Structure 1
């Protein structure tokens, strides 16, 4: 007589698990260490699960970059509305808070797109990234124009305080694996307001 054994559920290895592992490696060891073999080890997934989703490293890096960008941009777009100086301050504070809440994603953005081998990405990933870049850059340019019209602050200075300052403020903490101070978002927002008034 045949015995019927209850089948154990197969473990699921979803895309998020894999990309989370890649993000942890990047944050701890740098982008060069994000290899297919390292991600398999870190995620604890069979190689087939990884290669089924990402046929090669460029495809993995593309997904890692695009996911981080989507995470950052999703809640940032509404902040561009209203008074331009307050919008700039809100965006700066949001950037700091987002980096604190999403350190793995923040490490991806701080590494910079140029290091992600974008020329080798799959076409769909490149097109998605390009479309999102256009949308984001239009939003930044629109805010910059509004700030320039209202404050007469030079564009170079606007970009420095609105775009570069928040990343510079968090880089020292994320790079040193040190907690971001609780008041850093408000400090950065205050500097933005002072610089643009």
Structure 2
């Protein structure tokens, strides 16, 4: 049986996450990953043809892992408000469990060189963004309103506000407080409760 590679793609990306969390996207370089893992430069270039590919992979792996769990919370078929609260709570809970990855998500895809990504990497990013937009639209529709202000309210409730709780503490180098998930859920409940009930008249 063949032995697993000593320097796997995931091991190299784990090192890139560590570097990015400590120094931001600028700290994620081919040579820094090689030094962090003790891998020969050839092993890094064998898996990533250049820095743009490395940046794309570390960003996409991080955001896709976050999205996978977040999207499972947003099924609004039974109760849109409950789904929205769960989605807001997930942002904080995932960040608590994965603080280094969460530190990367405080940046954006452009900070990780999206303009220089391959077509394949860009398509992966677009698919993920599309799934998130569809989930937000479904939540808004589940609340009985799907106009632009309502979609903005849902995005604020289930993504932007929870991320602001995470951002403030991570950028200060502080652990997330024990009440952070509860606070995010309470804020989401307050915002989502302002959306009209299904069938209610919407003021003109």
TM-score scaled by structure 1? 0.87
Indicate the larger mover: 168-177 or 141-150.
141-150
Aligned residue for 2:196?
Answer: none
Is the 2:140–2:150 contact (alpha carbons within 8 Å) kept by the matching residues of 1? Answer: no
Is the 1:20–1:104 contact (alpha carbons within 8 Å) kept by the matching residues of 2? Answer: no
Gaps of 5+ in 1: 1-8
Aligned residue for 1:90?
Answer: 86
Distance 1:134 1:34 in 2: 27
Matched, 1:52 2:46: yes
Matched, 1:163 2:159: yes
Distance 1:128 1:12 in 2: 27
Gaps of 5+ in 2: 194-204
Cα offset, 1:78, TM superposition: 2.0
Candidates 115, 118, 134, aligned match of 2:130: 134
Aligned residue for 1:40?
Answer: 34
* SS of equivalent to 2:126: helix
Is the 1:22–1:34 contact (alpha carbons within 8 Å) kept by the matching residues of 2? Answer: yes
TM-score scaled by structure 2? 0.84
Distance 1:84 1:61 in 2: 35
Cα offset, 1:73, TM superposition: 1.3
Deviations 1:118-163 (A, max 9, x none): 121122222222222212211122212323539xx74433322222
* SS of equivalent to 1:55: coil
Matched, 1:69 2:63: yes
Matched, 1:187 2:183: yes
Is the 2:158–2:188 contact (alpha carbons within 8 Å) kept by the matching residues of 1? Answer: yes
Is the 2:137–2:151 contact (alpha carbons within 8 Å) kept by the matching residues of 1? Answer: no
Larger Rg: 1
How many correspondences in the alignment?
Answer: 187
The within-5 A match list for 1:98-177 is 98-147=94-143, 149=145, 154-177=150-173
Distance 2:96 2:37 in 1: 23
Is the 2:88–2:159 contact (alpha carbons within 8 Å) kept by the matching residues of 1? Answer: yes
Is the 1:148–1:154 contact (alpha carbons within 8 Å) kept by the matching residues of 2? Answer: no
Is the 1:24–1:104 contact (alpha carbons within 8 Å) kept by the matching residues of 2? Answer: yes
Distance 2:60 2:150 in 1: 31
Distance 1:148 1:175 in 2: 37
